[in-house]
Structure 1
Amino acid sequence: MTHTPTQVVSAGVDLFADAVAAQAVPVSRVAWQPPMTGTEQDLATVAADPLRHEANERALAAMLGVQAVLVDVAPASEVLGLERGEFLHAGPPIAWEQASGPLRGALMGAAALEGLVEDPEDAVALFASGEGIRLEPCHHRGTVGPMAGLVTPSMWMFVLEDPTTGRRTHCSLNEGLGKVLRYGAYGPEVLERLRWMSAVLGPVLAAAVRGHGPVDVTGILTQMLQMGDEAHNRNRAGTLMLMRDLAPAIVESGHDTGDIGDVLRFVGGNDHFFLNLAMPACKLALDAARDIDGSTMVVAMARNGTEFGIQVSGTGDTWFTGPANLADGLFLGDFGPEDANPDIGDSAITETAGIGGFAMATAPAIVRLVGGTVPDALATSRRMHEITLGENPRWSIPVLEFQGVPTGIDVTRVCRTGILPQINTGMAGREAGVGQVGAGLVTPPAEIFPKALAALAERTRERGQSFSTGA
């Protein structure tokens, strides 16, 4: 006797599903594709790792357990121990010779800011010689920096702390948009603004934070996601809530009233100001998940304008890198794709933590800045759940029935599905000195995830051999 199935599940191309549906048989279509090429054996090895499941649970729980509070604002020379000639930058390690235009422009401006050269153009020879110069990733010093990510000794830093553990992370103060150092601009107006930030903005904010007491940055992130921000390219609500908390203490700080007015106007007129608190809050949470043997969770995504790199909990401080991609998005004025530099900045730490591009559904208005459509934003947040270990109940998406944001990028899930993390980002000009040229959407280079998977598989094999030999 022939039995007609009551339901058919079809994976892959639609030819079979269409034929079944034409015969009035219900069919469930499953989006499926083979794993990334060459990853099959490594996926099998890591899947069989007896440590993986518990290690990933520990990593996710450690991250979700962190509370980030703003406890101070102080110069990088004090809180990071930066010395003359030391420069921190975004992304994985890089030398001057490989540096992109915006990173070079930021370094040139920063050298003038620190008095190493009189004219930023003179810094080219200084960096080419390498004499008395040291470049180091922000991530290596408990810090993150947007776009070029430049941090120098005289710059003032936000200091965030987890009250339970005392661990700290840091980030510079946000300059605003357009022709700014982090986008590679270094004209006189850029340096003048940075000097004002060190002379006025930093000290006023420091007095306010110390007078007010710790500011709950994680709590503000929770609220701003309910108010139309996604905490990467939209931070308007977060900035206003920070102002609400600190404005009375700023007024009562004892500083010159003119300086107080300038600070309030600067922060209030800079919708991106809170980004530089969201980033170190995310790093503080993700750093708690580092160095857990067997964990396949990504703890950092960062770009230096030439390479895109990731770090994984179970592989320590190793960077897995590939060429940074160009973002696809909207451009300012007469700029176009030929003017844009490949992806740059530490700000993808927000996506690594589950916000930014992963939480685009919280901020439908973001598509007007980075391109795409509102349905695209909703679909992106749903899709990111396919490559993550869990959800963050603290950070939720109202339009998706308050579902927690997708959290804990899993290297194995990325390799198995071929789905890449979605990042929304600003775009810097390709040439040094240009500044911002647009904003858009970008993904990491696909090859970095199989590289990380191979390292995880090798560690699994080595651990198995040690166990079998009793070593």
Structure 2
Amino acid sequence: MTTPEAVVSTGTDLLADAVAGQAVPVTRVDWRPPMPGTADDLATVATDPLRRDANDRALAAMLGVTATLVDVAPAAEVLGLAPGEFLHAGPPITWDRASGPLRGALMGGAALEGLVDDPEQAPALFEAGTAVSLEPCHHRSAVGPMAGVVTPSMWMFVLEDAATGRRTYCSLNEGLGTVLRYGAYGPAVLDRLRWLGDVLGPLLRAAVRSVREIGGPIDVTAILTQMLQMGDEAHNRNRAGTLMLLRDLSPALVTAAAGAGFGADDVAAALRFVGGNDHFFLNLAMPACKLALDAARDIDGSTMVVAMARNGTDFGIQVAGTGDEWFTGPAQLADGLFLGDYGPEDANPDIGDSAITETAGIGGFAMATAPAIVRFVGGTVPDALATTRRMREITIGENPRWSVPVLEFAGVPSGIDVTKVCRTGILPQINTGMAGRVAGVGQVGAGLVTPPAEIFPTALAGLAARARTRG
């Protein structure tokens, strides 16, 4: 019997390890059986004549978008929010099913808008439901981090694709810890929100408009390209992005302040706040990713995911080939590191629209660009590299604009494919913050999480049903 020159191994590593121990080269194929119950739907979608071209078009549409920062304005002005209308992160939900952090943020939002004198009075308002309404941010071309609550008076970043004029929106970032988006609603939280509305928002508007008039709008997509080269992954690490934004806006903040009615002290406070808030750029990265992914919506036959979002109770995805339909399952608890004395029992299940970054190929998909992130969310540097490589197995292609230096400048894996998730069983990796499960607590940690597995077979079934109807 002759010794083989090489061996290809699939499945478990037991055989591969035994062969490698005998000095025989082994090629390991990370094969997994498809998710249970998906075989028929996988076969149907695989033979759909629209699928290949539809996915190519969806990926090209996403990659063709350049997001620019064109304005900062109140939600009432740019989103048409009326008094009593609240936006939130994730798929649709009602007050009776809302998680603690979402309730806390809604309570604080009601007090901010003057609908109640005290946040503790707000539950009765939402339980009655006659003077208020809840709607996902995604339904208004917006995204919101964590609880994602947006009220009419909150100021929003306005991003635009110059080629099409399409726009997306996101609120201003409050910082970390005890903040509204993590469900806190104390006096300090509301005071900060009022300052964002009275000072920072108008100052940013003046600066953004000044920059736009002098040299054109700030290219957010280009900043994302640079920050991935500088150690950010644009979800839980945004330090380089925030500093580059501050570099671009600082001169205009100074020169435009007087014309907007603000003095040197206001400018100094704004610069300190943005410069001291490493996550400030996240609220630009998110709408930039949504702007790109929205370009891929409503492409019949495409199996590409265009949104992943969580409301603290449900995790939902939307797919290019199934319109605005949400496929939902239970939000999962993140596995990570906790602040202070907090532990797993204090954390709420995953929440926020910020997984739009992973949907676009950054965040958890680009962990190899930001090995330092493991100190914040847990894991090791080899884990970060392996995660980016693994995400290639469930995506349609890569984004050449957003590259990974340590992986020979390969583009980040982009375009999550429902069929590839169901065929491999590999779930998208998400970097996330953790909110306290009790309303009012705020942030308790950060970590890693994946979607509930069952939502992908459900989405696949929806795609297969459409393919059968066409066929």
Counterparts of residues 31-50 of structure 1 (less than 5 Å): 31-50=30-49
Please state whether the residue corresponding to 1:169 is helix, strand or coil: strand
Query: Structure 1: how far apart are the matches of 2:287 and 2:403?
Result: 20
Query: Structure 2: how far apart are the matches of 1:69 and 1:26?
Result: 50
TM-score (normalizing by structure 2): 0.97
- Cα 1:18–1:204 shift into 2, 3 Å: closer
Matched, 1:451 2:458: yes
Question: Residue 84 of structure 2 corresponds to which residue in structure 1?
Answer: 85
Question: Residue 432 of structure 1 corresponds to which residue in structure 2?
Answer: 439
Please state whether the residue corresponding to 1:55 is helix, strand or coil: helix
* Residue-pair matches, total: 463
Question: Residue 268 of structure 1 corresponds to which residue in structure 2?
Answer: 275
Please state whether the residue corresponding to 2:176 is helix, strand or coil: coil
Query: Structure 2: how far apart are the matches of 1:360 and 1:23?
Result: 35
Matched, 1:68 2:67: yes
Deviation track 1:335-380 (CA, whole Å, cap 9, x = no partner) reads 0000000000000000000000000111111111101011101110
Question: Residue 243 of structure 1 corresponds to which residue in structure 2?
Answer: 246
Shift of 1:17: 3.8
Gaps of 5+ in 2: none
Deviation track 1:175-231 (CA, whole Å, cap 9, x = no partner) reads 000100000000000000001100000000000000111111001000000011100
Query: Structure 2: how far apart are the matches of 1:352 and 1:47?
Result: 22
Please state whether the residue corresponding to 1:206 is helix, strand or coil: helix
Matched, 1:172 2:171: yes
Q: In the alignment, which of 193, 207, 219 is matched to residue 216 of structure 1? A: 219
Question: Residue 468 of structure 1 corresponds to which residue in structure 2?
Answer: none
Query: Structure 2: how far apart are the matches of 1:145 and 1:18?
Result: 46
Query: Structure 2: how far apart are the matches of 1:305 and 1:20?
Result: 47
Q: In the alignment, which of 310, 317, 322 is matched to residue 324 of structure 2? A: 317
- Cα 1:402–1:99 shift into 2, 3 Å: same
Question: Residue 378 of structure 2 corresponds to which residue in structure 1?
Answer: 371
Query: Structure 1: how far apart are the matches of 2:23 and 2:382?
Result: 30
Task: Show structure 1 runs of 4+ deviating over 2 A.
Answer: 2-8, 13-29
Query: Structure 2: how far apart are the matches of 1:226 and 1:156?
Result: 30
Counterparts of residues 113-124 of structure 1 (less than 5 Å): 113-124=112-123
Amino acid of the residue matched to residue 138 of structure 1?
A: C
- Cα 1:33–1:204 shift into 2, 3 Å: same
Matched, 1:227 2:230: yes
Question: Residue 160 of structure 1 corresponds to which residue in structure 2?
Answer: 159
Matched, 1:51 2:50: yes
* % same residue: 81
Shift of 1:29: 2.3
Shift of 1:19: 5.5
Matched, 1:7 2:6: yes
Query: Structure 2: how far apart are the matches of 1:194 and 1:258?
Result: 18
Please state whether the residue corresponding to 2:229 is helix, strand or coil: coil
- Cα 1:14–1:176 shift into 2, 3 Å: closer
Question: Residue 469 of structure 1 corresponds to which residue in structure 2?
Answer: none
Query: Structure 1: how far apart are the matches of 2:148 and 2:241?
Result: 21
Amino acid of the residue matched to residue 198 of structure 2?
A: A
Query: Structure 2: how far apart are the matches of 1:23 and 1:427?
Result: 46
Question: Residue 350 of structure 2 corresponds to which residue in structure 1?
Answer: 343
Amino acid of the residue matched to residue 105 of structure 2?
A: A
Question: Residue 467 of structure 1 corresponds to which residue in structure 2?
Answer: none
TM-score (normalizing by structure 1): 0.97
Please state whether the residue corresponding to 1:252 is helix, strand or coil: helix
Query: Structure 1: how far apart are the matches of 2:330 and 2:245?
Result: 36
Gaps of 5+ in 1: 465-471
- Cα 1:18–1:200 shift into 2, 3 Å: closer
Query: Structure 2: how far apart are the matches of 1:20 and 1:377?
Result: 28
Shift of 1:5: 4.4
RMSD: 1.1
Query: Structure 1: how far apart are the matches of 2:287 and 2:38?
Result: 33
Amino acid of the residue matched to residue 357 of structure 1?
A: G
Please state whether the residue corresponding to 1:392 is helix, strand or coil: strand
